[in-house]
Amino acid sequence: MRRAVDYYTTRYDGEDIALARFHCGTPAPLADWFACYERFVANYAASLPVGRTIPAEVADVMTDAELASAQALMNQVFVRVAEEATRQAEAAGLSANYASGRQPGLLARIRPLPDPR
């Protein structure tokens, strides 16, 4: 269990929410890429708020400080994943308006966490 706690507090990489997980691929017809991107957005939204995807049995053994550390790391990773997905969407031909604003954008879905200090 401590290995899982360590993963979420120091090594979480966002693999579970990344666009790459959906293998959208390029080049692809825009409609296909858009459908793939929509699956990514749905998964990303279902993973919020940040920390929600930490398994209950792991969260239950975390101290308050470990949970705060995990959420802070995950928040940074979620922002990075959203920025990268937006760049990829724009490169694939989705409008910047859609990729970063119409949904509302992925970054708008992340709420800053309070400073645990």
Determine the pLDDT at residue 4: 96
Determine the pLDDT at residue 31: 81
In this prediction, the residues of the chain whose per-residue pLDDT falls under 70 are 26-28, 94-117
Determine the pLDDT at residue 86: 86
Determine the pLDDT at residue 12: 97
Determine the pLDDT at residue 105: 57
Amino acid letter for position 117:
R
State the pTM of this model: 0.79
Determine the pLDDT at residue 98: 56
27-44: string of b/e by CB count within 10 Å (b at 16+)?
A: eeeeeebbebbeebbeeb
Residue 24 in contact with residue 33, Cβ under 8 Å? yes
